Amino acid sequence: MSSLLLWPLLLTLLTMEPSGAALVRVELRRAHLQQGIPNPLRAWAESTEPSRLGPPPKGDNPFLVPLSKFMNVQYFGEIGLGTPPQNFSVVFDTGSSNLWVPSKRCHFFSVPCWFHHRYDPKASSSFRPNGTKFAIQYGTGRLSGILSEDKLNIGGISNASVTFGEALWEPSLVFAFASFDGIFGLGFPTLAVDRVPPPLDVLVEQGLLEKPIFSFYLNRDFAGADGGELVLGGADPAHYIPPLTFVPVTVPAYWQIHMERVKVGTGLTLCAQGCAAIVDTGTSLITGPSEEIRALHRAIGGLPWLAGEHFILCSKIPTLPPVSFLLGGVWFNLTAQDYVIQISQGGFRFCLSGFHALDMPPPAGPLWILGDVFLGAYVAVFDRGSTSSGARVGLARARVPEAEPGGGGTAQAQFSD
């Protein structure tokens, strides 16, 4: 299931640190639409050169790894593989557990290879062959290739020895149009294809990261290039308004939790008997069972468009009802400004619903997926737990960047068992 539908491509689907521990940061930046391109898919054909990874900061200062976003529905950032590092834009995806990038050795007719940066084993002095074949099936695409071993650089962490996939064959054109090169899985080891240790586990096992904890802050403001930040090893309280509400993970594969209820304004209740939900950074929208999403769209005035999407009259945004999710006994509210995707291009304004129907059959479903539309409003802390405590997800309202001068410093949230 790990990647799902995106608009128009959906990929997917605290025991915290001592005061002196450093956070590893991945900054987000925005990818802009090309002028005069009405179809967002066409804009993805342009890949941008990843920014170079800088030297690690000194002392206890946090490490930075740039991330990007595309139209507030696609977030990605840079990593380095090899010696010297070859840089790639990757989606940091909590709905899968493998790391892969396109290969210099890819099949000639694998179109996505020609639009993206490709890993060249001959250009790396630290490359080690593995040769095991792998294949991954996503909800909107598939790929296959071979496993290799090399050094990973991320956010100032360097020389982590990882096993990753070199994609040799990407028959799905959705990857050709994507703004990113590959995928960096942040799910549980259970999801990993061929039992490859997930990169997060590797960082912890090799002593490069103290705790298997990370957090996402996604900047939904369309102005500027800043897309937010991925923090490895903890969370930055400058990103959210306390307190964090922690919800236990019910299925340690995807980051699956129990959701008690969903309300649309005061007149419609969904997930009335409770339901499963997945917190997924690799899914752009919020998805749910088709019958319930149809009822939601009727309540917010969503008008059917292409490929199951719905558009919203932009003038109606101030009057639309909130959509609220009951998680861990706390209501998490989304206003229309949160759940309507607003696109401005060439003086034309277009508004799309951030909800999409997706029926997951048993035993995995039915379920909801809380993707980037939800995570733009709420910072999520993903805590894998320990032998004495289970995995959990912490949620708190994201701070508005303009209202928080001096944010993004080295402050760290402290958590207890």
Which CATH number covers residue 120? 2.40.70.10
Using alpha carbons, select from 281, 275, 221, 284 the residue that is nearest to residue 250. 275
Estimate to the nearest angstrom the gap between the alpha carbon of 103 and the chain centroid: 23
Q: Mark whether 120 is an active-site residue.
A: no
Q: Which residues contact 319 (CB under 8 A, 6 or more apart)?
A: none
Q: Which of 351, 353, 329 is nearest to 264 (CA)?
A: 353
Instruction: Judge if 189 and 114 occupy the same domain.
Output: yes
User: What's the domain range around 304?
Assistant: 240-397
**Cα gap 172→140, rounded to integer Å:** 8
Q: Going edge to edge, which strands form the sheet with 330-334? A: 268-270, 261-264, 323-327, 330-334
User: Catalytic: which of 93, 150, 236, 372?
Assistant: 93
328 neighbors 246 (Cβ within 8 angstroms): yes
What CA dihedral angle connects 277, 335, 5 and 42, to 10 degrees? -160
Q: In a structure prediction context, what are the per-residue pLDDT tens digits for the chain, which is 417 residues long?
A: 444 334 333 333 332 333 345 788 877 654 433 322 222 222 222 222 332 233 333 333 333 343 444 455 567 889 999 999 999 999 899 999 999 999 999 998 888 888 899 999 999 999 999 999 999 987 667 899 999 999 999 988 999 999 999 999 988 777 887 888 999 999 999 999 999 999 999 999 999 999 999 999 988 766 555 678 999 999 999 999 999 999 999 999 999 999 999 999 998 999 999 999 999 998 889 999 999 999 999 999 999 988 889 999 999 999 999 999 999 999 999 999 999 998 887 788 889 999 999 998 888 789 999 999 999 999 999 999 977 789 999 999 999 866 444 444 433 444 434
For residues 201 and 207, what is the distance between their CA atoms, to the nearest angstrom? 10
* pLDDT of the residue at 330: 98
Please indicate, yes or no, whether residues 166 and 246 belong to a single structural domain of this protein.
Answer: no
Neighbouring C-beta atoms of residue 209, cutoff 10 Å: 27
Concerning whether 372 is annotated as a catalytic residue, the answer is: no
Question: Tokens in use for 73?
Answer: 């529905």
In a domain, 375, yes or no: yes
**Encoded tokens for 153:** 């650089």
Q: Residues 311, 363: one domain?
A: yes
Q: Classify residue 306: in a domain, yes or no.
A: yes
Token readout for 371 is 């993707």
Q: How far apart are CA 371 and CA 377, in angstroms?
A: 11
Where helices occur in 84-184 by DSSP H, the ranges are: none
Asked if residue 416 belongs to a domain, the reply is: no
d(CA 241, CA 413): 11
Residues 292 and 361 in one domain: yes
Assess whether 205 and 255 both reside in one domain: no
Pairwise CA distance, residues 229 & 218, whole Å = 6
Count of the separate structural domains present in the chain: 2
Domain end position, chosen among 176, 201, 229: 229
Same domain, 224 and 244: no
Beta bridge partners of 356: 287
> Under a CB-based contact definition with an 8 Å cutoff, are residues 186 and 93 in contact?
yes
HSE-up of residue 312 (Cα within 13 Å, Cβ side) = 26
Give which of 168, 209, 219, 10 is closest to 96, Cα–Cα: 10
Let me know whether 246 and 337 are in one domain: yes
| Catalytic annotation, pick one of 150, 181, 280, 372 | 280
Q: Report pLDDT for 68.
A: 44
Residue 380 located in a structural domain:
yes
Q: Which candidate, 390, 372, 391, places its Cα nearest to that of 93?
A: 372
Q: Are residues 177 and 279 in the same domain?
A: no
Q: What is the pTM of this model?
A: 0.84
Interstrand relation of 286-288 and 367-370 (parallel, antiparallel or unpaired): antiparallel
User: Are residues 209 and 128 both part of a single domain?
Assistant: yes
Q: Is the domain of 259 the same as that of 207?
A: no
The full length of the chain comes to 417
What are 14's two structure tokens? 């605290």
What's 271's DSSP letter? S
Is the domain of 220 the same as that of 317? no
Nearest of 315, 306, 314 to residue 351 by alpha carbon: 314
pLDDT score of 174: 78
User: Is residue 26 domain-resident?
Assistant: yes
Q: 272 with 197, same domain?
A: no
